[in-house]
Amino acid sequence: MPSVHLVSQEEASPAVATNATRPWPAWSYLAVGAVLLVAIGMWLVWFSASVQRKFDEEDIRAACQRMMPDTADRCYDTVVIQRGGARR
């Protein structure tokens, strides 16, 4: 049996190349990547602000404990109100 197979014209015609191999265009991958990048960036900003606020609260509590140990909670509340931040 020969290792070469002759293909007739009828067998070759159904092999039409279609664009079905790429269901999503390239711009959709870019759009999904951009959305993921924005979401990750927003989460990082939120997380860093949360950590910074926590450290600020701990610093205020430590300072109030050193200066006025008997009324540290009242001192903390006053400082937070004066600064206008750090919710309880």
pLDDT digits (tens, 9 = 90+) for 23-82: 778 888 999 999 999 999 999 999 999 999 999 999 999 999 999 889 999 999 999 888
For residue 2, give the 3-state DSSP assignment: coil
* Token reading at 34: 């951009």
For residue 87, give the 3-state DSSP assignment: coil
> Could you tell me if 72 and 66 are in contact, meaning their C-beta atoms sit under 8 angstroms apart?
no
CA-CA-CA-CA torsion sign (70, 74, 77, 81): negative
Residue 25 has a pLDDT of 84
Residue 80 has a pLDDT of 87
> Could you tell me if 35 and 42 are in contact, meaning their C-beta atoms sit under 8 angstroms apart?
no
Query: Is pLDDT above 80 for 87?
Result: no
